[in-house]
Amino acid sequence: MSSKACERALQYKVGEKIHGFTINQVTPIPELFLTAVKLSHDNTGARYLHLAREDKNNLFSVQFRTTPMDSTGVPHILEHTVLCGSQKYPCRDPFFKMLNRSLSTFMNAFTASDYTLYPFSTQNPKDFQNLLSVYLDAAFFPCLRELDFWQEGWRLEHEDPADPQTPLIFKGIVFNEMKGAFTDNERIFSQHLQNRLLPDHTYSVISGGDPLCIPDLTWEQLKQFHATHYHPSNARFFTYGNFQLEKHLKQIDEEALSKFQKIEPSTIVPAQKPWDKPREYQITCGPDSLATDSSKQTTVSVSFLLPGITNTFEAFALNLLSSLLIGGPNSPFYKALIESGLGTGFSPDVGYNGYTREAYFSVGLQGIAEKDIQTVRNIIDRTIDEVIEKGFEDDRIEALLHKTEIQMKHQSTSFGLTLTSYIASCWNHDGDPVELLKLGNQMAQFRQRLKESPVFLQEKIKQYFKNNQHKLTLSMKPDDKYYEKQTQMETEKLKQKVNSLSRKDKEWIYEKGLELRTQQSKTQDASCLPALRVSDIERTIPFTELDVTLAAGEIPVQYCAQPTNGMVYFRAFSSLNTLPEELKLYVPLFCSVLTKLGCGILNYREQAQQIELKTGGMTVSPHVLPDDSHLDTYEQGVLFSSLCLDRNLPDMMHLWSEIFNNPCFEEEEHFKVLVKMSAQELSNGIPDSGHLYASIRASRTLTPAGDLQETFNGMDQVRLMKRIAEMTDIKPVLRKLPRIKKHLLNCDNMRCSVNATPQQMSETAKVVERFIKNLGRSKKERKPVRPHVIEKPAYKNGSSGSTYVNGSQIIRKLITDPTFKPCQMKTHFLLPFPVNYVGECVRTVPYTDPDHASLKILARLMTAKFLHTEIREKGGAYGGGAKLSRDGVFTFYSYRDPNSIETLQSFGKAVDWAKSGKFTQQDIDEAKLSVFSAVDAPVAPSDKGMDHFLYGLSDEMKQAHREQLFAVGHDKLIDVSNKYLGIGKCTHGLAVLGPENAKIAKDPSWIIR
């Protein structure tokens, strides 16, 4: 992969001066196909790293070292508030407004423990300049208005801001976000772990903010923190991609850096003083809402302080060592802890953590009985001793180095973002980011060390684990009254605040509250912000060449030639049409264990080893694929995905053959372990994905596919897995797996796809043919369970046939239900969280219907111009909006929301707003930009052709949809609002996940689960 961008960067000379910067270093890093250019700013000392790479998805980021000394959340609230308006762009909320004025592929901001990072990426050079201008002004010259601090951070406000008789309460976006974050028990554990293991300085506080400390932050303190931390002398600039470096430097110097003088920032984090003896702590958390066995909800872990992360090789070696200790079923801690049956899975933050100045390693179990804490500690100590004695097998070390090689070659679309995140911590503490990126060197050095001293890794374990006094044992158990106590402390805090107010203060708070409401409701003038125009969007999409051939006479295989750096991506899709209904519920479980229980002559440990040595992963997942032209038609099946280096393709395909023909479902003990881990992961994921669970449930009764979606991906699945995990006898479930295999793992209803380089294609085709020839065929013809099957080619031949797909057709067998009647259902899932997740879904029209395009633009318009203000700014939820998915279901949602019924009312108001047509042509154009930035998001070489393979969408159909999007106008938007979203027009479904709710409990139309 020679590249113009890399060659251009190699022309720079050390010492050369460009726009106020001096070049300090130019280094090619061939293993990542890039050239690194390191610079510093002459006047302010700001540091700069440019990674030139032939990638059109260019990224910028600026990061500041932010080291708070209390838990008021000052860096986090500052991160929110700087994005609320700046000198050059004084309008409210330029950040959210730019989402609709740009074709960005990514825009966000992150607060870590000790830095704050502001990244964006885009493929359009004009857009890059626009966003850079907004980001620079926000970071260095923000307005930091008091009312923005109130909205984003915290405020006292009347429950009803218009009525001073209603009680004063705490409100604010970060306040609610952090309340939501600490409903996640894993988050509570990780937070305490870091605070207690590194107690001397900034790591002892919560940088995101503790909801009980956030109300101690003043507006003055916020402005002071900005003045001392957000200075070029405390900044690190990063750019990535194929745009010209000089242009970036000129703009950054002119618009920001030239206005500053150098200071000596006092933000350095001192080294943590090592302990002279180990420490222990116990903490509590909220109960797990889904666990029926409440006696087994304790978590315990043992953690060790490791050396500083700026020693690049030591960090690389310890990271690898950590993976050897805990990665996969062959690792010593997996065997000793996971397979002991004492818990449900590893404790949070297991393994190597390199995000703080000194790294740490942590290992333990969650889901254990409190009485087993000591047992777990003993197992950990004993395992360390065993590893020091025995060491590791060569094959396991090879497998890990092989994984690193794949990570270097696999092309992701957000590589710039991956890189800025990867180097952030090390660079933040003045480590060398370029050294960190030379993975080839580190691998070579690692092999060299092992050659010189075969016990190299055992020595490290002795040094850092066995003889390390800086060792923390942390245990956490649930307290049924945890949320009650939190609420009580919050009430106390509120009382304190309110009692200290004079009458004058109260009047002022009321006035300010009204003022904030007025501001939030005012039509915003965003004309000061730069914007792309609809005419900047490409009118047509580049078409992808595909070849489809029939292997073994009947199985379609789609070949797509792509620049994959010598990687091969193989996928297969197998239909579930003949599977009996009562087995459907178990398909996700079947998928998650299929590649983990052994196959052929390999037991599960040997299989795991082979998968790690020869592939970049082999995964299986259930899919419900919507039809492009009928809402009551869908395809159901399972997708098998895998990738490997081309030299390993025969081995990978042999593994698939064995998994298809001879999977093993005997390992009852290991099956139990996998089920427990999977159930625990699902329930841990609810706080992060609550809005998705609400939406899946809300759309369940709207289309025939909805019920299957709930079965595979909804709360029903979470509950089923919890139930199975708690069975004393798991055999009846295990016995279902071979029955599912009969229907799924044969080539009766199957199609395959391959993405690889043109040079690899003929060799790859031979190996894939051989795999297909070896597959079993069903002895007897199996009938589909649902009689209504429609055979549909992936594209229609004739006039609308795709000119870019050569060879045969892919025929998809879809299910339809002519008797289906959509119906309304409202469900409230009771969960012990202090926040809600709300979803409301409406059945509309499929992808190819021109109204689909209008609804897609409408969803974006409603989000940006109405719901964002109502749900986030006024309501205080962390997020909310509307979206239209490919299956024709229109969804309103909110995330970490203090309200529920009020939010559902806001959804109704949003529809009224849309029907009234109170939006301008500018608003519509912005919504189009936003929709197109998603439609035109970059697609990785490994994923090209997937829309055709899975959904049967040809490039022609996508182009037609594109033209429909361009054609959407004011009248169409009002028309679809009236036609589909109004009361009584289409069927709606509603769902809420969250705490008890008196109004819902009184309303008989709600089902409470």
Name the H helices within 595-730.
604-614, 649-661, 668-684, 686-698, 704-713, 715-725
Q: Measured between alpha carbons, how far is residue 716 from residues 183, 515, 710, 774 in Å?
A: 21, 45, 6, 37
Cβ–Cβ < 8 Å for 83, 138: yes
Residues making up the chain, counted from first to last: 1009
Distances (CA, A) of 672 to 217, 582, 665: 48, 21, 12
Q: CA-to-CA distance for 157 and 494, rounded, in angstroms?
A: 11
What is the three-state SS of 556-596? EEEEEECCCCCEEEEEEEEECCCCCHHHHCCHHHHHHHHCC
Identify the CA nearest to 359 among candidates 465, 453, 443: 465
Which residues lie across from 29 on neighbouring strands?
Answer: 34
For 86, which DSSP code? B
Structure tokens at 506: 């109260």
Residue whose C-alpha is closest to residue 940's, from 107, 57, 58, 240: 57
* Alpha-carbon radius of gyration of the chain: 29
Nearest to 676 by CA among 717, 739, 723, 737: 723
Is residue 327 classed exposed, middle or buried when 0-12, 13-18 and 19+ CB atoms within 10 A define those classes? buried
Q: Two tokens at 36?
A: 């690194």
Phi, psi of 101 (to 5 degrees): -120, 15
Residue-by-residue DSSP string for 773-797: HTS---SSPPPPSSS-EEEEESS--
Q: Are the C-beta atoms of residues 877 and 899 closer than 8 Å to each other?
A: yes
Extract the tokens encoding 142: 């923000």
Residue 249 makes CB contacts below 8 A (sequence gap 6+) with 18, 19, 20, 21, 39, 48
- Continuous segment of H or E residues that includes residue 52: strand 47-52
| Ramachandran area for residue 15 (φ above 0: left; ψ -120 to 50: alpha; else beta) | left
Q: Which of 16, 54, 79, 769 is catalytic?
A: 79
Of 998, 983, 854, 819, the residue nearest 931 (C-alpha): 854
- 890 vs 872: CA distance, rounded Å: 20
Q: Is 610 within 8 Å of 651 (Cβ atoms)? A: yes
Number of Cβ within a 10 Å radius of residue 526: 19
| 389 tagged catalytic | no
- First CA to last CA distance, the chain: 56
CA dihedral of 423, 425, 429, 431, whole degrees rounded to 10: -30
Distance CA 612, CA 642 (A): 12
DSSP for 270-300 reads PPPPPPSS-EEEEEEE---TT-S-TTS-EEE
Known catalytic residues are 79
